[in-house]
Amino acid sequence: MSESQVRLVGGDEIRRALEGRELEVVDVVERAYLSHGAGSSSLPHSTFLSFPDDRSNRIIALPAFLGDGFGLAGVKWIASFPGNVARGMARASAVLVLNSCDTGRPFAVLEGSVVSAQRTAASAALAARVLYGERRPERVGVVGTGLIAATVLRFLAAVLPDAERFLLLDLDRDRAAGFGRRLGRRQPSAEVELAASVDEVLASSDLIVFTTTAVTPWVEDLSGCRPGALILHLSLRDLAPSPLLRCDNVVDDVDHVLRAGTSLHLAEQQTGRRDFIRCTLPQILLGQAPAQQGDSVTVFSPFGLGILDLAVGDLAVRRVTELGGGRCFDDFLPTDPES
């Protein structure tokens, strides 16, 4: 492509190009985390656009730069409108723009919700592989049975193929049942059950995934968790501060996760400190901190870093291009700046 060209890549193209490449996506996410941990990134705080008298809907801008072999800059602009689900639409929609680090010019514009879902799932799967070590979960509990949960389970199947027992919980029991049927078709050997309460999920699962759209914490007690259980707190606002303070907390980036009303942010506001966070996932990957801390319940709370969108988005562009996909616009940028 010339410096004046921009490639437009759709969500279905991205999904097809990355299908069956879960381990490759996990690998690129791990490399992005390692680069970030080594200081080869620039990651301004995300900007939240909220709406008056409406706490449920928001649009977020995530700018980022990722160096250390990536050489990427860009921004993700992602909307979260939970009410879209009742309309038969996806909750999230997004655009991802990738820019050249040599000229600053955009070279690709991608549908961003597929990239966002895959980088979220890859981050969760990587954390599960690292924090679980050589163990294998007896049962995986899932709280919130939407698109992100489905994507996470697909990536978990790639890194923890022995996980075949699942316990599902959703406010809409029919939604959870449909999720279970789809999971059974994808993994015919899976044993799928529906839970009656979050306490049942916590008591019966070694690995618990929270992917709800909760805006305020509602899980007040984690004492029923199994020793050494791992909670992937992807939705960031389900767990109340008090039980979190008694857990082994691992995050993706301390400064980023302690804002925007996350459960950890509320815990910091209540205690006036942040030392309840033991370390970051990049620190573990770099060998600067151990993966586990005894039989404590570990909670991984990833804020969701823009560098991951850049890394997975760039991979998607390359794979789509190899397949002859995407639409290349020769005249997207003006050819004569003086005209």
Six-digit token string for 214: 């909760």
Tell me what pLDDT residue 55 has: 78
Task: Say if residue 85 is in the same domain as residue 108.
Answer: yes
Q: Note whether 153 and 282 are same-domain residues.
A: yes
Q: How many CA atoms lie within 13 A of 160 on its CB side?
A: 26
Bridge partners (DSSP) listed for residue 49: 59
The residues near 21 (Cβ < 8 Å, ≥ 6 apart) are 319
Residue 205: inside a domain = yes
Task: Look at the block and give the residue holding tokens 């969701």.
Answer: 304
Contact 146, 211 (CB under 8 A): yes
Whether residue 17 is found in the same domain as residue 156: no
The secondary element (H helix, E strand) that includes residue 110 is strand 106-111
Q: Which domain holds residue 50?
A: 6-115+306-329
Residue-level pLDDT at 278: 97
The answer to whether residue 338 is domain-embedded is no
- Per-residue model confidence as pLDDT tens for the chain (339 residues): 556 789 999 999 999 999 999 999 999 999 999 999 999 999 999 999 999 888 789 999 999 999 988 999 999 999 999 888 889 888 889 999 999 999 999 999 999 999 999 999 999 999 999 998 878 889 999 999 999 999 999 999 999 998 999 999 999 999 999 999 999 999 999 999 999 999 999 999 999 999 998 989 999 999 999 999 999 999 999 999 999 999 999 999 999 999 999 999 999 999 999 999 999 999 999 999 999 888 899 999 999 999 999 999 999 999 999 999 999 988 888 876 565
Statement to judge: residues 147 and 265 lie in one domain: yes
110 with 233, same domain: the answer is: no
The pLDDT of residue 35 is 97
124 occurs within a structural domain:
no
Burial 286-318 (b: 16+ CB within 10 A, else e): eeeeebbbeebbbbbbbbbbbbbbbbbbbbbbe
pLDDT at 336: 65
CB 249 within 8 A of CB 276: yes
Residue 337: inside a domain, yes or no? no
Instruction: Give the single-character DSSP code of 99.
Output: E
CA geometry: angle at 78 spanning 77 and 81, to 5°? Answer: 145
What's the pLDDT score for residue 2? 59
Question: Which CATH number fits the domain that encloses residue 81?
Answer: 3.30.1780.10
Output the pLDDT for position 112.
95
Judgement on whether residues 185 and 82 belong to the same structural domain of the protein: no
Are both 279 and 314 inside the same structural domain?
no
Instruction: Give the DSSP H/E element, type plus range, for residue 271.
Output: helix 263-271
pTM: 0.93
Q: For position 142, which CATH number holds? A: 3.40.50.720
